[in-house]
Structure 1
Amino acid sequence: MNVSDRRRLLGPLNAKLPVSAVGSEDVKISTKANDEIRKMFLKTGLVGNANGSAYLEVDDTIIEVSVFGPRPIKGSFIDRASFSVECKFLPYIPQPNEVTFNGSSTTFNNNGKPGLSNIEQKISSYLETSLLASILLEKYPKSTIDVFVTIISTNSTSQSNTSLLHLCNWIVNCSSLALVDSGIELKDIVTSGQVRLNCKTNELILDPEYDDNTSAAHDDDSLDCVVSFMNMRNDDIVGFWIEGNQNELDEDVTMKLIEGCNTMSKAVRSNINSYLVNLLQ
């Protein structure tokens, strides 16, 4: 063996070639059941300088939420805390359905908060409305409570409504956990559920999946819905967002969507409760 041979990483003498996998046409990709909720990973307290924080992973979606407050504010006396929410995508992460909602501008929203795209503004507004009902703002006069959401990763290349509402759903659940971690007094923990209803087959799917093959044309036959609840307060609805073929929307369809979202919401709430109980042990 010469000097140059010593620089190479040689395999064992009895090495064998691996058996090649079967062709893609022979592989069956399993999908979750229509009533199944995807597994989630939760973690709190990761942001040291925040009063509360939470981290969530669901498949390729990664979200971090930080809560700052209650912090004293200067100026005239107010008898309850002010509350604000800001949701931002990391740079270069595609935003779901951005062609429809953002149009040619992705750097600011003329009708909302400066620096937020239209999609970021819509998610921030929904989140603020949903969480506001659960916080005892009167406990914190002359104060402010601020929630900052960072979307670290998401498969948002699809132009379907499913990917947008999927993201909004998990942002609500992660933000509620961050509020609990902050120690702010709450009436209840807000949790959300998301469903898709195929208007032709009347098939209801909890926590629907989406991928790059999902097209806007698919949404013409479907209704995508996310609903946020305070389950311990008689299942009070604090947020409702629906996209899709609303020509098919009537009272029966609306109730079916709400009941499906509530089923998922309670499953998520059960997982959050288990996580919080384990923290105390």
Structure 2
Amino acid sequence: MTDRRRVNGPTGGTTPVVFDPELVKNFAASVSKPIRTRAARELRKIFLQTGLTPSASGSAYFEVEQHPSHSHGLARSSTLKITCTVHGPRPLPRSSSFTPNMLLTTTVKFAPFAASQRRGYIRDNAERDLAVHLETAIRGVIMNDRWPKSGLDVVITILEGEDDSWWDTGLSTMSSGGQTPFGMMSILSGCITAASTAIVDAGIDCVDIVTGGVAALVKKSELATGNSNLELVLDPCPSEHDEIVACCVVGYLKARDELTEVWMRGDVSLTPQVGVGGQSEVDSLINGAVQAASAYHAVIVSSIKK
């Protein structure tokens, strides 16, 4: 069912018109598939700011650092830009039944221009899945028993999301089965961090600050085969890797050392592997995601204090 109230744009991506002769000359070489240049344990810098939406009880803006090319300034890889607004706590309608705890509602929506493939205005299954995982991650943090018969709305808008493939080559970072996209994992990690910051900005009592972290197992080279050639990377960008075998995102409470959400996708093994430090692939992924989430905790605390 299409939305007849709006005129949707084209479903496919379009190439911008280029007028600079020097840009045209170096365009083919400058838009090659990006390659990860940072270390496996190195995280991208993030920008986090609160209080950008005065009409909301709390708000936050989350952005991941983007590395442009040196020749013309075009981005070598996709980035992540997320806005979050929190509305409430506010009383529920009189017709609703009494609830001793506050009702939490999460909404995740991609902007139509958030990805290389234009998205529709109606929410799809991927956005609903992200909303369910986000609600699971932040539900255990809020002290919802302090607001009976009240509601809290957390609205996430993704202005730019990381793609699962590089637009110029059409390469897709799928698992060995060729069916699992991993771009949503980094997006969920950013949504958890932005939502937690906005909730604290709204003055809602929480047991701790939850942060999102993501880690992935990738092949060391394009011709590598076997589990011994796997490498654990933190904060992966899907377009920078030829093949991602498995990925994991967590919601982590640093002060309480607890996990509120674990989402893992891909082909993983429970037996210890040499290529991942002698640990099983599951343990290695979870520990890497926890390490990435712990690093973002200090950024959130600094942003809230400002």
Distance apart, 1:208 and its partner CA: 1.1
| CA–CA separation in structure 2 for the residues paired with 1:86 and 1:157 | 22
Q: Is the 8 A contact 1:37 1:207 kept in 2?
A: yes
Gaps of 5+ in 2: 1-21, 67-78, 166-171, 174-180, 219-226, 273-279
| 1:184 is aligned to 2:190 | no
| 1:270 is aligned to 2:270 | no
- Residue in 2 aligned with 1:76? 97
Q: 2:217 aligns with which of 197, 210, 219?
A: 197
| CA–CA separation in structure 1 for the residues paired with 2:108 and 2:301 | 25
| CA–CA separation in structure 2 for the residues paired with 1:95 and 1:242 | 25
Structure 1 residue ranges (4+ consecutive) displaced by more than 4 angstroms after TM superposition: 27-30
Q: Is the 8 A contact 1:95 1:157 kept in 2?
A: no
The 3-state SS of whatever aligns with 1:166 is: helix
Figure out how many residues of one structure are paired with residues of the other and give that number: 237
1:87-144 Cα offsets, whole Å, 9 max, x none, are 0001243389x9xxxxxxx769xxxxxx421110111000000000000000101100
Aligned residue identity for 2:249: V
Q: Is the 8 A contact 2:35 2:241 kept in 1?
A: no
Q: How does 1:25-174 map to 2 (within 5 A)?
A: 31-58=37-64, 59=66, 60-74=79-93, 75-94=96-115, 115-156=122-163, 158=165, 159-160=172-173, 161-174=181-194
Cα 1:33–1:132 change in 2 (3 A) is same
Which one has the largest radius of gyration?
Answer: 1
Aligned residue identity for 1:51: S
| CA–CA separation in structure 2 for the residues paired with 1:187 and 1:43 | 21
- Residue in 2 aligned with 1:13? none
Q: Is the 8 A contact 2:46 2:63 kept in 1?
A: yes
| CA–CA separation in structure 1 for the residues paired with 2:36 and 2:241 | 17
Q: Is the 8 A contact 2:116 2:163 kept in 1?
A: yes
Aligned residue identity for 1:76: S
Q: Is the 8 A contact 2:43 2:235 kept in 1?
A: yes
Aligned residue identity for 2:195: S
Aligned residue identity for 1:228: G
Cα 1:176–1:24 change in 2 (3 A) is same
- Residue in 2 aligned with 1:257? 285
Q: Is the 8 A contact 1:64 1:151 kept in 2?
A: yes
The 3-state SS of whatever aligns with 2:229 is: coil
Cα 1:31–1:68 change in 2 (3 A) is same
| CA–CA separation in structure 1 for the residues paired with 2:141 and 2:133 | 14
Cα 1:127–1:250 change in 2 (3 A) is farther
Gaps of 5+ in 1: 1-16, 99-105, 109-114
| CA–CA separation in structure 2 for the residues paired with 1:272 and 1:190 | 9
Cα 1:223–1:274 change in 2 (3 A) is same
Aligned residue identity for 2:126: I
Question: TM-score, normalization: structure 1?
Answer: 0.76
Q: Is the 8 A contact 1:56 1:64 kept in 2?
A: yes
1:21-46 Cα offsets, whole Å, 9 max, x none, are 9x959x99771111111011111111
- Residue in 1 aligned with 2:252? 229
Aligned residue identity for 2:251: S
Query: Identical aligned pairs, as a percentage?
Result: 31
Query: CA RMSD for the aligned pairs?
Result: 2.9
1:206-247 Cα offsets, whole Å, 9 max, x none, are 101232x756xx23xx111111111111x211111111123x
Specify which structure has the higher proportion of helix: 1
Cα 1:29–1:238 change in 2 (3 A) is closer
1:172-203 Cα offsets, whole Å, 9 max, x none, are 11111011101000011111111111344231
Distance apart, 1:164 and its partner CA: 1.5
The 3-state SS of whatever aligns with 1:227 is: strand
The 3-state SS of whatever aligns with 2:135 is: helix
| 1:240 is aligned to 2:262 | yes
